[in-house]
Amino acid sequence: MNILGINSVFHESSAALVVDGKVIAACEEERFSRVKHAKEARVDNPHVLPEQAVRFCLDYAGLRPDDIDVVAYSFEPRLRRTKFRSEWWPESGLEEVFLRWLDEIDDAVAKLMGRRFGKALKFVPHHLAHAASAYYPSGFDKAAILVVDGIGEADCTMLARAEGNHINVLASLSYPHSLGFVWEHTSVYLGFSAYDAAKVMGLAAYGDPSVFRREFASIIEVTEQGYAVDPETIGFKSIEPRGLDELFGPRRAPDGDFLPHHMNVAAALQDATDLAALSLLRRLEREAGGGALCLAGGVALNCVTNTRIARASAFSDIFIPSAPHDAGTAIGAALVAHCAERGAKRPTGGATPYLGPEYDEREALAAVRAAGLKPRKCKDAPREAAEMIADGNIVGWFQGRMEFGPRALGNRSLLADPRRPDTRAILNQRVKHREDFRPFAPSVLAEHAEDWFDLGAPSQSHEFMLFACPTKPGCAARIPAVIHEDGTARVQIVRRAANPRYHALISRFFERTGVPLVLNTSFNDNEPIVCSPADAVATFRGAGLDAVFLGDICVTSER
């Protein structure tokens, strides 16, 4: 049984392939198109499919469109029609436009695949796809599930309980009770785009949440059932919402300075989100019992909230996939379709983030030579890269299959020395061209992680850079480049079995320096993370890196 999963209803368009219950491939369209998020979340484009990501999945598995048995799309138009109210839109007529283009998905799939699928085109409820993307790859036999994002068909939060192949919805909170939308509106108020929740999360560490705690309590009311969002206060119903301006004063211009005022707004939002999430967690514990917990939805990318949940939870283990945001619903939809088949076996795999394309040495050499650069073959690329990093160089590390999800996890990464106080400024200003407050993550050897960081309860998701962990006493001063303003680090644990080449690089850096970790940030410069060798070479030249390693091929800067 070959099942193609597709997400394209809003943004983060993606595709995934599940063969006999195993996740074979998954990728976001933006990595091929080089357009961030693949497309804007508009009412007139849910039928715009991730064509290049679909072709990659088929090509990787050696399949043709005729070999696909089921196409699973991570949104259910009929559920949208029954649950969503058109008056929720700030402008009349938008829902009719959205529904009209949802009806075009069947034709779009037929055009892309060269045939109609009829009943084999399965529309999977959006939050169910989110839940499945976390639960089935987790390996848990049963678990409680919490999904929190902007919106699905009409729901913004879902609580569920899963056992075996079955996921049972316990409760949901519908629009306008959307933490995701509060983050989008606050991001815009602070001068960012609606997609920049990660920037707000980083900025929050510099602020005092108590300054605007009362104001955010009027937006997000914490209740015994979880939380409630006041749409009037934040201005959801306005085409140009100004609710936050009325609460906090004029919004920051995109090129404006960052003032303590902005930092305090971000900090209060983070604090309000944490309190809402903890209330949801208490409700989930009451209704689903203890045991294991799975988190999904865009809000599950919030490392601070994830850490609060992990440390306050009665659950024995927590799993969050590497792509808990909308892109991950391509995997989830395909796994739901698999489990719906009569006699379907329990899905296997999918927890690894390394599900994207990989390139051979011939393709790497071609990209380097096409750029007029001189390649050099390495005898031991991990060792050479580690030595360069220890000497203060910034290195592009392009290896194996690309990660699925928004965070580079050692295969499409920029690496640097965490010991140098100036590393962070150099990366933000010279290489990444981004705000100075943005933090960088440490990739740390699994066998030494607990010596350096307070990880809390063990979780496989520590491998996906999804928790903000405090450093152990005396360690922060040794690795200033990866410690955020609040004294935490967005840790990625690296296990030899999961990524042997990356583990070898960090091990050599440890031998040389006595520090078992390197600074890791995504291999990009205001663009999607690089996908191909040509992308990597272009970013190497444009961002002023010192070296790039493409497998065993090395290119160094001529500076």
- Distance set, CA 373 to CA 76, 369, 431 (Å): 49, 5, 20
Write down the residue that tokens 């005729």 correspond to.
66
Same domain, 377 and 286: no
Residue 185 sits at the vertex; the CA angle it makes with 182 and 191, to the nearest 5 degrees, is 140
Taking the C-alpha atoms of residue 352 and residue 322, their distance in angstroms, rounded to an integer, is 8
Same domain, 121 and 180: no
CB atoms within 10 A of CB 67: 12
Same domain, 538 and 401: yes
Taking the C-alpha atoms of residue 407 and residue 464, their distance in angstroms, rounded to an integer, is 8
Same domain, 48 and 127: yes
**Domain boundary at 340, 373, 390, which?**
340
Structure tokens at 489: 């680090």
Task: Specify if 161 maps to a domain.
Answer: no
Same domain, 305 and 333: no
Taking the C-alpha atoms of residue 400 and residue 546, their distance in angstroms, rounded to an integer, is 21
Same domain, 331 and 312: no
Taking the C-alpha atoms of residue 17 and residue 50, their distance in angstroms, rounded to an integer, is 13
Position 205 scores a pLDDT of: 97
**Domain boundary at 281, 307, 340, which?**
340
Contact between residue 331 and residue 350 where contact means Cβ atoms under 8 Å apart? yes
Same domain, 54 and 189: no
Task: Write down the H helix ranges in 62-196.
Answer: 77-83, 94-102, 105-113, 126-138, 179-189
Task: Specify if 511 maps to a domain.
Answer: yes
Same domain, 366 and 330: no
Write down the residue that tokens 């990444």 correspond to.
432
Task: Specify if 150 maps to a domain.
Answer: no
Taking the C-alpha atoms of residue 348 and residue 351, their distance in angstroms, rounded to an integer, is 9
Same domain, 182 and 53: no
* Helix (H), strand (E) at residue 507: helix 500-513
The CATH number that applies at residue 209 is 3.30.420.40
The CATH number that applies at residue 538 is 3.90.870.20
Contact between residue 13 and residue 49 where contact means Cβ atoms under 8 Å apart? yes
Task: Specify if 384 maps to a domain.
Answer: yes
Position 457 scores a pLDDT of: 82
Structure tokens at 123: 């529309």
Structure tokens at 138: 């987790």
Q: What is the pLDDT of residues 129-188, one digit of tens each?
A: 999 999 999 999 999 999 999 999 999 999 999 999 999 999 999 999 999 999 999 999
Position 433 scores a pLDDT of: 87
Beta strands 220-223; 226-229: pairing state? antiparallel
CB atoms within 10 A of CB 82: 10
Taking the C-alpha atoms of residue 442 and residue 457, their distance in angstroms, rounded to an integer, is 19
Same domain, 9 and 116: yes
CB atoms within 10 A of CB 370: 11
Position 350 scores a pLDDT of: 67
Residues taking part in catalysis:
11
Position 343 scores a pLDDT of: 82
Secondary structure letter of residue 171 according to DSSP: E
Position 375 scores a pLDDT of: 96
Task: Specify if 144 maps to a domain.
Answer: no
**Domain boundary at 340, 371, 402, which?**
340
Secondary structure letter of residue 401 according to DSSP: S
Position 555 scores a pLDDT of: 97
Residue type, 360: D
Taking the C-alpha atoms of residue 217 and residue 387, their distance in angstroms, rounded to an integer, is 51
Same domain, 303 and 335: no
Task: Specify if 352 maps to a domain.
Answer: no
Write down the residue that tokens 């663009």 correspond to.
527
The domain of 538 spans 361-556
- Distance set, CA 464 to CA 117, 294, 495 (Å): 35, 14, 11
The pTM (predicted TM-score) of the whole model is 0.96
Three-state DSSP state, 218: helix
Position 238 scores a pLDDT of: 67
Task: Specify if 497 maps to a domain.
Answer: yes
Task: Specify if 160 maps to a domain.
Answer: no
Position 80 scores a pLDDT of: 97
Taking the C-alpha atoms of residue 386 and residue 509, their distance in angstroms, rounded to an integer, is 5
The parts of the chain modelled with pLDDT lower than 70 are: 238-241, 349-350, 559
Same domain, 273 and 383: no
How many structural domains compose the chain? Answer: 3
CB atoms within 10 A of CB 183: 24
